[in-house]
């Protein structure tokens, strides 16, 4: 929903109030001079050391001028200096890089307000694993958007009974609204859907990358429902088991499964009689089913429903809802063929 | 009579100056101990809870007294400001607090040097740097405590003696 950020606040206000304070003063002023119309469409701010600052507004890329505002032909672009890149990192980490060590190692920082900043730089490897990212050279600031009601069309198809949801896998390529949909399913499952006679259940979220609830200092910045417990920044596999043992959820929600240990943890959760909703990257059910680590999920027919998303009519376009066991198309989206193509 | 009052004033002033300098020497170990304690609190905050720096500085400031409380409070306030970078915030706080403290220039330099790594390294490194600065503060405190009594006594005597000498010369 362009123009609206978290909690219905206009996006340009969200950027000015919640994101610009994390940028060095000069850059802050330059972006603040952007027309409100551009800021309200902005989804990402791209900062790359030694290169121009860009705003991604819908399908447009807008370069920030050195004098501030949008660069026109002949204007010098605003180039991020080494000093500014360093200051940006310090400001985003609140002057406490040690407190964000794990997040930086994983390549992101979550700002107050749930805005995620992807980081790139030079990886320092120890025993084959990334120990730390140093010489940070790029920041991809993604403006948090919460689309309340994004799951309205899918809820009737994933509610199994008054206390259970179908084990559901949401499949989509990146930037198609997987996490937005997952977040709203979480909220609705937790708060309940009176129109569907669903009273709301205990929900546990394992938010390894702080994308679903966007916790800042342990407090969810996004609306995830009144019966939702969030295990923030915890590895998925470990977190799922921890949640089942510690807070007895009726539903466990997690994002981007893909490792073998995730699959084992999902089996544990399902065998404990707890519903499971997860997401996976992919174009179709076939794509995901062919991934070596997820093959066993489909061979074991663990998931009952699959929701396919695309960018066809903007982020969050539901291409189809399938019975994941029989691969029968339950609901075909605007491009019904895409969903049918997934069926056998 | 006037001469007598004048002489008394001279002796009194010189003794006061001597006592002030002596007190300064006695205050330094106390200031160093307070700082070492505040750093211990900071170390706990970072080691146990990875508390963000601004909040960790505020907590260390609340737990301590005197110059340490002032220095840590100022650093937190400066860090929370618009362009708060931890190194700059810390150095500003050290220089401000130093002006009203009994610390020696070498203490100030050690504290300023600590700021270079503040908030800009891993938790493990940060804790190592805090540990190092605490060790330096403890060593300085032990030395200062040994010297303080001796030096303070000397300054007290010196103040009174110099005052008396000046009074005699003027008489």
Q: What is the pLDDT of residues B49-107, one digit of tens each?
A: 889 899 999 999 999 999 999 999 999 999 887 567 899 999 999 999 999 888 999 99
Residue B45 pLDDT more than 80?
Answer: yes
Q: What pLDDT sits at residue A344? A: 37
b/e sequence A88-109, b meaning 16+ C-beta within 10 Å: bbbbbbbbbbbbbbebbbbbbb
Q: Give residue-wise pLDDT tens across range A80-95.
A: 999 899 889 989 988 8
Mean pLDDT of A203-212: 90
* Percent of all residues in chain B with a pLDDT value above 90, rounded to a whole number: 50
CB B53 within 8 A of CB B118: yes
Residue A239 pLDDT more than 90?
Answer: yes
Residue A219 pLDDT more than 50?
Answer: yes
Where is average pLDDT lowest: A31-40, A107-116, A132-141, B75-84? B75-84
Residue B9 pLDDT more than 50?
Answer: yes
CA B39, B54, B126, A108: dihedral to nearest 10 degrees? Answer: 160
Q: Give residue-wise pLDDT tens across range A135-148.
A: 889 999 988 878 88
Q: Can you tell me the distance from the alpha carbon of A253 to that of A261, in angstroms, rounded to the nearest whole number?
A: 16
Quick one: which H or E segment has residue A337? Answer: helix A336-340
Planar angle of CA A99, A105, A109, nearest 5 degrees: 60
Band of pLDDT at residue A287, cut at 50, 70 and 90: confident
B interface test, pick of A89, A98, A101, A232 with most B CB neighbours within 10 Å? A98
The reply to whether A98 touches chain B by the CB within 8 Å rule is yes
Residue A336 pLDDT more than 70?
Answer: no
Q: What pLDDT sits at residue A335? A: 64
Yes or no, beta carbons of A87 and B79 under 8 Å apart: no
Mean pLDDT of B121-147: 91
Band of pLDDT at residue A123, cut at 50, 70 and 90: confident
Helical axes B105-115 vs B123-170, angle rounded to 10°: 160
Q: Can you tell me the distance from the alpha carbon of A307 to that of A301, in angstroms, rounded to the nearest whole number?
A: 15
Q: What pLDDT sits at residue A77? A: 95
Residue B24 pLDDT more than 60?
Answer: yes
Yes or no, beta carbons of B121 and A97 under 8 Å apart: yes
Give the tokens for residue A9. Answer: 């606040």
Planar angle of CA A125, A126, A127, nearest 5 degrees: 120
Q: What pLDDT sits at residue A313? A: 80
Band of pLDDT at residue A340, cut at 50, 70 and 90: very low
The reply to whether A202 touches chain B by the CB within 8 Å rule is no
Using a CB-CB distance cutoff of 8 angstroms, which residues of chain A are in contact with residue B46? 98-99
Yes or no, beta carbons of B86 and A21 under 8 Å apart: no
How much is the mean pLDDT over chain B?
89
Planar angle of CA A217, A218, A223, nearest 5 degrees: 110
The reply to whether A90 touches chain B by the CB within 8 Å rule is yes
CB A179 within 8 A of CB A208: no
Q: Is the dihedral of CA A33, A34, A37, A43 positive or negative?
A: negative
How much is the mean pLDDT over chain A?
87
pTM of the model: 0.74
Using a CB-CB distance cutoff of 8 angstroms, which residues of chain A are in contact with residue B50? 96, 98-99, 101
Note which residues in 11-40 of chain A have CB less than 8 A from chain B: 21, 24-25
The reply to whether B115 touches chain A by the CB within 8 Å rule is no
Q: What pLDDT sits at residue A31? A: 95
- How many residues belong to chain A? 344
Where is average pLDDT lowest: A178-192, A218-232, A293-307, B128-142? A293-307
**Closest to A213 measured CA to CA, from A176, A186, A246:** A186
Q: What pLDDT sits at residue A341? A: 45
Residue of B nearest to A23 (CA): B83
Q: What pLDDT sits at residue A6? A: 61
Band of pLDDT at residue A266, cut at 50, 70 and 90: very high
Q: Which residues have a Cβ under 8 Å from the Cβ of A162 and sit 6 or more positions away?
A: A197, A198, A199
Q: What pLDDT sits at residue A4? A: 58
Q: Give residue-wise pLDDT tens across range A49-80.
A: 999 999 998 788 999 999 999 998 888 999 99
- Written as one string, the DSSP assignment of B20-67 is HHHHHHHHHHHHHHHHHHHHHHHHHHHHHH---HHHHHHHHHHH--HH
Q: What pLDDT sits at residue A158? A: 95
Band of pLDDT at residue A7, cut at 50, 70 and 90: low
The reply to whether B116 touches chain A by the CB within 8 Å rule is no
Band of pLDDT at residue A215, cut at 50, 70 and 90: confident
Q: How far is CA A266 from CA A41, A262, A278, A325, in A?
A: 38, 6, 9, 16
């Amino acid at each position: 929903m362009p123009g609206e950020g978290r909690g219905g606040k206009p996006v340009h206000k969200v950027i000015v109030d919640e994101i610009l304070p994390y940028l060095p003063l000069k850059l802050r002023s330059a972006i603040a001079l952007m027309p409100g119309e551009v800021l309200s469409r902005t989804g990402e701010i791209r900062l790359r050391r030694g290169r121009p600052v860009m705003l991604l507004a819908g399908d447009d890329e807008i370069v920030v001028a050195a004098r501030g505002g949008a660069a026109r032909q002949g204007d010098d672009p605003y180039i991020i200096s080494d000093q500014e890149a360093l200051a940006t990192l310090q400001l985003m980490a609140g002057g406490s890089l040690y407190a964000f060590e794990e997040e930086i190692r994983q390549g992101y920082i979550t700002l107050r307000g749930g805005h995620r900043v992807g980081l790139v730089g030079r990886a320092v490897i120890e025993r084959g694993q990334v120990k730390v990212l140093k010489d940070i050279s790029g920041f991809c600031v993604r403006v948090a958007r919460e689309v309340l009601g994004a799951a309205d069309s899918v809820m009737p198809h994933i509610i199994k009974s008054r206390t259970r949801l179908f084990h559901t896998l949401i499949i989509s390529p990146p930037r198609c609204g997987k996490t937005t949909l997952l977040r709203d399913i979480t909220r609705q499952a937790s708060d309940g859907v009176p129109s569907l006679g669903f009273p709301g259940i205990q929900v546990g979220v394992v938010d390894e990358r702080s994308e679903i609830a966007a916790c800042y200092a342990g407090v969810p910045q996004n609306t995830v429902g009144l019966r939702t417990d969030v295990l923030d920044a915890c590895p998925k596999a470990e977190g799922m088991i921890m949640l089942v043992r510690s807070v007895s959820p009726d539903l466990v929600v997690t994002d981007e499964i893909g490792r073998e240990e995730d699959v084992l943890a999902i089996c544990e959760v399902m065998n404990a009689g707890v519903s499971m909703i997860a997401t996976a990257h992919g174009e179709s059910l076939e794509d995901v089913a062919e991934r070596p680590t997820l093959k066993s999920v489909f061979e074991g027919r663990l998931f009952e429903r699959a929701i396919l998303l695309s960018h066809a009519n903007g982020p969050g376009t539901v291409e189809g809802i399938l019975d994941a066991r029989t691969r029968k198309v339950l609901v075909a989206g605007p491009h019904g063929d895409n969903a049918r193509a997934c069926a056998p | 009579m006037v001469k007598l009052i004048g002489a008394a004033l001279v002796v009194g002033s010189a003794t006061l100056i001597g006592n002030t300098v002596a007190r300064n020497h006695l205050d330094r170990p106390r200031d160093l101990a307070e700082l070492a304690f505040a750093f211990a609190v900071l170390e706990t905050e970072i080691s146990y809870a990875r508390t963000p720096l601004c909040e960790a500085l505020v907590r260390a400031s609340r737990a301590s007294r005197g110059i340490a409380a002032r220095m840590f409070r100022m650093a937190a306030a400066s860090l929370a400001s618009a362009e708060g970078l931890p190194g700059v915030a810390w150095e500003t706080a050290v220089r401000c607090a130093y002006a009203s403290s009994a610390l020696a220039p070498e203490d100030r330099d050690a504290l300023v040097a600590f700021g270079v790594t503040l908030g800009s390294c891993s938790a493990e490194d940060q804790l190592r740097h805090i540990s190092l600065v605490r060790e330096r503060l403890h060593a300085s405190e032990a030395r200062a405590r040994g010297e303080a009594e001796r030096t303070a006594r000397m300054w007290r005597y010196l103040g009174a003696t110099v005052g008396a000498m000046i009074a005699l010369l003027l008489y």
